[in-house]
Amino acid sequence: MKVLVTGSRGMLAHDLIPVLKGRHEVFAFTEEELDIISKDSVYNALNNIKPNLIINCAAYTRVDKAEEERDKAFLVNGIGVQNLALICADMEIPLCHISTDYVFDGEKGRPYRPFDNTNPINTYGESKLAGEKYIQWILDKFYIVRTSWLYGKGGTNFVSTILKLAKEQPAIKVVKDQRGSPTSTITLSNGIKKLIESGSFGIYHITDDSEGGISWFDFAREIIRLSGLKTEVTPITTDEFPRPAKRPRYSVLDMEMTRLAIGHEAKDWKAALKIFLGI
């Protein structure tokens, strides 16, 4: 397939592009080369390439900053995605789009299924939901892939931040009362590749397997343990570490439908983390 990837300088794209290249002809665009907010920019790139599929890795991902940059978040994650969906409709090609666990409020008390009601509690989550809705209003053929707690070599993320802090400080404090599932960009890239080759359109969840969820504290402790660092990790509550954007308390994504539709077997989160750390 001729696959066009947007947001090619981002963390996910960094690992997704090589995973796709073995089997597909990949055309990757940075924001400067293809700005999804601009209809002209999108049409120019698409008309030149005439791809069989678009994978949208472009996004506004600054969760806290989005609270003060609401328009920017909605322009990229809402209108930008609408632009991509409109051209996909024109060209009669599918769109594969990446979304987030933050479309949920975290109050369900069990892993979220793709069919569960969304109810974002911060601006970033609202803007990502806008993108999901435009796709569903405009297109018949799409893959929406929700993921969570993403980390990879191609960007700053929780793992790289904890490693940096743990090397600089003898002790760190990490939130214990938010639970979710970490996801390696490698796991997600392999899942996306399988999905786009399946033709099984719909909304899917892809994360690593944390057997019902871990806390940021658990995640940090394991990062430090595996790295052989001696930094002390102390659990704290969300109230003790206030941030501009609210976070869902429990946002584990259920992957049953991903397994049944494309045979995707989730990878153990610790095994994925070891690979990332080169252990």
Ligand X SMILES: NC(=O)c1ccc[n+]([C@@H]2O[C@H](COP(=O)([O-])OP(=O)(O)OC[C@H]3O[C@@H](n4cnc5c(N)ncnc54)[C@H](OP(=O)(O)O)[C@@H]3O)[C@@H](O)[C@H]2O)c1
Distances from the Cα of 149 to the Cα of 31, 138, 208, angstroms:
23, 28, 10
Q: Is the CB of 97 or the CB of 176 nearer to ligand X?
A: 97
Q: Is the CB of 57 or the CB of 224 nearer to ligand X?
A: 57
H or E stretch covering 168: helix 158-168
Should residue 133 be labelled a site residue for ligand X when binding is judged by CB under 6 A? no
Q: Is the CB of 14 or the CB of 173 nearer to ligand X?
A: 14
Token pair in block for residue 188: 């997600």
| Angle (nearest 5°) at CA 248 between 244 and 249 | 115
Should residue 98 be labelled a site residue for ligand X when binding is judged by CB under 6 A? yes
Q: Pick from 3, 26, 27, 61 the residue near ligand X by CB under 6 A.
A: 61
Smallest distance, Å, CB 15 to ligand X? 9
Should residue 7 be labelled a site residue for ligand X when binding is judged by CB under 6 A? yes
Which of 60, 102, 112, 124 is the catalytic position? Answer: 124
Q: How far is residue 121's CA from residue 113's CA, in Å, rounded to a whole number?
A: 18
Smallest distance, Å, CB 29 to ligand X? 7
Q: How far is residue 102's CA from residue 90's CA, in Å, rounded to a whole number?
A: 30
Q: Which stretch binds ligand X (CB under 6 A): 54-62, 194-202, 215-223, 248-256?
A: 54-62
Q: Is the CB of 12 or the CB of 93 nearer to ligand X?
A: 12
Q: Which residue has the tokens 């390696």?
A: 184
Q: Which stretch binds ligand X (CB under 6 A): 7-15, 43-51, 87-95, 261-269?
A: 7-15
Should residue 255 be labelled a site residue for ligand X when binding is judged by CB under 6 A? no
Should residue 251 be labelled a site residue for ligand X when binding is judged by CB under 6 A? no
β-pairing, 179-180 vs 53-56, is unpaired
DSSP label of 156: -
Should residue 116 be labelled a site residue for ligand X when binding is judged by CB under 6 A? no
Should residue 65 be labelled a site residue for ligand X when binding is judged by CB under 6 A? no
Should residue 125 be labelled a site residue for ligand X when binding is judged by CB under 6 A? no
Token pair in block for residue 266: 């989730």
Q: Is the CB of 232 or the CB of 275 nearer to ligand X?
A: 275
162 contacts 221 by C-beta, under 8 angstroms: no
Cα dihedral 85, 88, 90, 92, rounded to 10, equals -140
Q: Is the CB of 207 or the CB of 231 nearer to ligand X?
A: 207
Residue type, 133: K
Should residue 155 be labelled a site residue for ligand X when binding is judged by CB under 6 A? yes
Q: Which residue number has the CB closest to ligand X?
A: 10
Q: Is 143 a catalytic residue?
A: no
Smallest distance, Å, CB 111 to ligand X? 15
Q: How far is residue 206's CA from residue 255's CA, in Å, rounded to a whole number?
A: 6
Should residue 11 be labelled a site residue for ligand X when binding is judged by CB under 6 A? yes
Q: Which residues pair with 145 in a beta bridge?
A: 98, 204
Tell me which residue of 27, 192, 29, 202 sits closest to 113, measured CA to CA.
202
Q: How far is residue 209's CA from residue 181's CA, in Å, rounded to a whole number?
A: 7
Active site residues: 124
Contact set with ligand X (CB under 6 A): 6-7, 9-12, 31, 34-37, 57-61, 76, 80, 98, 100, 128, 147-150, 155
